[in-house]
Amino acid sequence: MDELEPQEVSKTKRKQAMTDLQKLGEALVELPKDKLVRLDLPETLLDAVLAAKKITARGALSRQRQYIGRLMRSIDAEPIRAQLDIWNGDHRQETAEMHRLENWRRRLIEDDAALAEFLAAHPAEDAQHLRSLIRNARKEAAANKPPKSSRELFKLLREMLSTETVA
């Protein structure tokens, strides 16, 4: 009869599992908001994590982490853990991609020939919109204004080049 009864998990193992879930919840609190949204968390968990980001009092933060750990028990944590592992492993790849985009932006603003090179490599892109962003970014830099157009150019490059890698 002992073979038919399910084995009970020891109290120590249950506590360890709960501690692991709480640590995973703490890792969620450390993530930027855009990555949290991409994780597709249940709404209650997402709200609890976002609330924890705003808490500064040590005791309140500890209670919020415990609450997040309790919420983590009711969901399947493996997809979250897997995605965090991917992000931690691909950190170098993301950084390299950002450097590549920054390099393109810098070259486009500093050198007119870079635009021709970019359009030769990406003929489907809107050349007129790129030219206007580059022209505005140069004017802003010369007038020591905030780099609004430069940021827009970076966002546009990221959209253009990210669709290229997906296709």
- In this prediction, residue 88 carries a pLDDT of 77
157 with 130, same domain: the answer is yes
Helices 127-142 + 148-166 axis angle, to 10: 150
133 with 159, same domain: the answer is yes
pLDDT in tens, 43-76: 999 999 999 999 999 999 999 999 999 999 999 9
Domain assignment present for residue 2? The answer is: no
pLDDT in tens, 85-114: 777 775 667 778 888 889 999 999 998 899
Domain assignment present for residue 138? The answer is: yes
Domain assignment present for residue 28? The answer is: yes
43 with 105, same domain: the answer is no
**Cβ-based burial of 134 (10 A; exposed 0-12, middle 13-18, buried ≥19):** buried
- Indicate the residue among 45, 74, 89 that finishes a domain: 89
Domain that holds residue 25: 11-89
* Contact (CB, 8 A) for 69 and 12: no
Q: pTM value?
A: 0.51
* Type of residue found at 136: N
- In this prediction, residue 27 carries a pLDDT of 92
Q: How far is 69 from 19, CA to CA, in rounded Å?
A: 8
Q: How far is 125 from 114, CA to CA, in rounded Å?
A: 14
Tokens read off for 27 = 């890792």
Q: How far is 7 from 66, CA to CA, in rounded Å?
A: 27
Closest by Cα among 62, 42, 44 to 52: 62
83 with 106, same domain: the answer is no
Q: How far is 130 from 145, CA to CA, in rounded Å?
A: 19
81 with 104, same domain: the answer is no
Q: What is the DSSP code (8-state) at residue 4? A: T
- Tally the domains of the chain: 2
Round the CA-based radius of gyration of the chain to a whole number and report it: 24
- Indicate the residue among 89, 113, 128 that finishes a domain: 89
DSSP string, 18-67: HHHHHHHHHHHHHS-HHHHHHTT--HHHHHHHHHHHH---HHHHHHHHHH
Whether 83 has a pLDDT exceeding 80, the answer reads yes
22 with 82, same domain: the answer is yes
- In this prediction, residue 164 carries a pLDDT of 59
Domain assignment present for residue 118? The answer is: yes
Task: Report, as an integer, the average pLDDT of 23-31.
Answer: 93
Here the CATH number for the domain that contains residue 54 is: 1.10.60.30
- Indicate the residue among 69, 89, 109 that finishes a domain: 89
pLDDT in tens, 120-139: 888 888 889 999 999 999 99
